[in-house]
């Protein structure tokens, strides 16, 4: 029924309810009223007994009816500010509105100028546009998360092509400002690892480095699992994996569960930090040189650096017993896999013939030494002593400030001094009586 029909029906039932003299007769009228209006029985009794007009508007009367429409027009005209920013400037806005638009009613103008910010919010709430930027509706990163599912299973044993990706920050212990990052791609089965340098881990820059990595890989990428960072959850990378002939399965790990990406996380301590340390690289010009070093280092690690994979981990008492497989290089692990095409093994053989392990390693060390002298030492204003050449081993796997001193002088001992103990008189050692008597 409509509102007016319900109101008229209630008035008629009230007359019948009051005319009934017995409790049973009133009960029959009440049953009919509850069945028609779907009201709860106790509330229906209050409605039929009350002397007030049924279904009247609850709450206070509307006060700002004439001023609400003008408030909406002014709010839209001046870029929809929030009420706390609109209220201090409302008098100026109203004066300008009257000058250029139309004169306002005296009563409406008075109501408009005495509004509080809370009243403005209440009147403007129906006109606000609810978008994804509003609190509680999620932002752009939430929309990207809905497109990338969470990985629910391990990828070991599927063969080469299933990667885990992560970024390593070279901020020197501070995330303030802009600096370089290392993008790490690790194959979960063969441990084939590719490193590339990016500036500020933007979505477009990350996608470009991913394309470079795919070009140098001897096998194709079938799946990529990442963390929930914006460098991976963005439109550039999602479209790169989806809009292709063979779609690459992109997934993400659970938030605050870094062991979901365990294969790539362990490469921070084995590949990135031993090579570059913990210094800050905040010069945009260093990215090209850093990327060249990481490319050569990746080639040496994949072709000539053996690694072991954890096979089992069993807790015995208070310790863990770990078993590892036979040490092999990532290139050997790929060539041992029987399910890959023949051109994959042929491409790896060409790479092994084109590089020499000693020459490649010396090239990486020389470029790393020049890189640190050009970007790290020059930015710090330090110069090595005459006759001393600083190589990458001096900054290897050590935070900034913990490496060797750059000025000549006596070397400082890093050993802790022996802890001094204060013994009580009862604990002091005394000479034997025979020695005391013989003195």
Q: Residue 296's domain is classified under what CATH number?
A: 3.30.420.10
pLDDT in tens, 117-126: 999 999 998 8
CA geometry: angle at 316 spanning 312 and 318, to 5°?
120
Q: How much is the pLDDT for 422?
A: 47
- Summarised one tens digit per residue, pLDDT across range 132-177 is 444 545 567 788 888 999 987 888 888 999 999 999 999 999 999 9
Considering 311, 330, 352, which residue would you say is the last residue of a domain?
352
Q: 260, exposed or middle or buried, with CB in 10 Å at 0-12, 13-18, 19+?
A: buried
Q: Once rounded to an integer, what is the mean pLDDT over residues 228-254?
A: 94
What does the pLDDT read at residue 38?
86
Residue 294 and residue 222 share a domain? yes
The proportion of the chain whose per-residue pLDDT surpasses 70, expressed as a percent, equals 82
Both 74 and 23 in one domain: the answer is no
Whether 88 and 223 map to the same domain: the answer is no
Verify that 345 and 215 share a domain, yes or no. Answer: yes
Judge if 281 and 249 occupy the same domain: yes
Q: What is the pLDDT of residue 384?
A: 61
Rounded distance between C-alpha atoms, residue 162 and residue 164, angstroms: 7
Query: 392 and 275 in contact (C-beta within 8 Å)?
Result: yes
Is residue 390 a part of any domain in this protein? Answer: no
Residues 107 and 156 in one domain: no
Q: Is the pLDDT of residue 305 over 60?
A: yes
pLDDT for res 61: 72
- Which of 352, 377, 405 terminates a domain? The answer is 352
DSSP-based three-state secondary structure for 373 = helix
The tokens for 163 are: 């990667």
Paired tokens of 216: 């140098």
Q: If you average pLDDT over residues 44-55, what whole number do you get?
A: 79
Residue 429 lies in a domain: no
What confidence tens digit (pLDDT) does each residue in 397-418 have? 444 444 444 444 444 444 444 5
pLDDT value of residue 168: 96
**30: containing domain:** 3-49
Q: Based on the domain organization, do 262 and 149 belong to the same domain?
A: yes
């Amino acid at each position: 029924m409509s509102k007016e029909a319900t109101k008229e029906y209630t008035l008629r039932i009230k007359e019948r309810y009051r005319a009934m003299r017995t409790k049973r007769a009133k009960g029959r009228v009440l049953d009919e009223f509850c069945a028609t209006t779907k009201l709860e029985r106790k509330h229906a009794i209050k409605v039929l007994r009350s002397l007030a007009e049924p279904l009247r508007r609850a709450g206070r009367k509307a006060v700002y009816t004439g001023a609400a429409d003008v408030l909406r027009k002014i709010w839209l005209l001046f870029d929809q500010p929030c009420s706390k920013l609109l209220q201090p400037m409302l008098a100026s806005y109203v004066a300008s509105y009257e000058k250029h638009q139309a004169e306002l009613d005296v009563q409406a103008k008075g109501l408009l100028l005495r509004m509080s910010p809370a009243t403005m919010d209440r009147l403007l709430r129906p006109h606000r546009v609810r978008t994804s930027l509003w609190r509680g509706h999620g932002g752009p990163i939430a929309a990207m998360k809905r497109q990338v599912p969470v990985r629910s299973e391990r990828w070991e044993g599927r063969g080469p092509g299933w990667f885990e990706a992560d970024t390593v920050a070279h901020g020197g212990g501070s995330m303030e400002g802009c600096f370089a990052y290392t993008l790490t791609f690790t194959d979960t089965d063969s441990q084939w690892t590719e490193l590339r340098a990016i500036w500020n881990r933007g979505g477009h820059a990350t996608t470009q480095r991913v394309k470079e990595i795919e070009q140098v890989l001897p096998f194709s990428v079938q799946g990529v699992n990442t963390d929930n960072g914006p460098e991976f959850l963005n439109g550039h990378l999602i479209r790169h994996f989806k809009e292709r002939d063979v779609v690459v399965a992109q997934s993400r790990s659970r938030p605050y569960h870094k062991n979901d990406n365990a294969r790539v996380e362990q490469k921070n301590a084995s590949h990135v930090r031993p090579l570059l340390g913990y210094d800050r690289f905040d010069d945009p010009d260093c990215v090209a040189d850093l990327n060249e070093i990481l490319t050569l280092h990746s080639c040496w690690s994949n072709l000539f650096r053996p690694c072991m994979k954890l096979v089992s981990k069993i807790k015995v008492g208070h310790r863990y017993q770990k078993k590892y497989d036979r040490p092999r290089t990532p290139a050997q692990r790929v060539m041992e896999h029987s399910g890959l095409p023949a051109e994959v093994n042929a491409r790896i053989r060409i790479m092994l013939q084109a590089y020499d392990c000693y020459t490649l390693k010396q090239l990486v060390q020389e470029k790393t030494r020049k890189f640190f002298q050009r970007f790290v030492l020059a930015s710090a204003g330090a110069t090595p002593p005459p006759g001393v050449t600083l190589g990458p081993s001096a900054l290897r796997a050590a935070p900034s400030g913990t490496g060797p001193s750059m000025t000549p002088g006596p070397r400082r001992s890093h050993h802790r001094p022996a802890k001094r103990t204060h013994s009580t008189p009862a604990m002091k050692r005394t000479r034997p009586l025979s020695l005391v008597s013989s003195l």
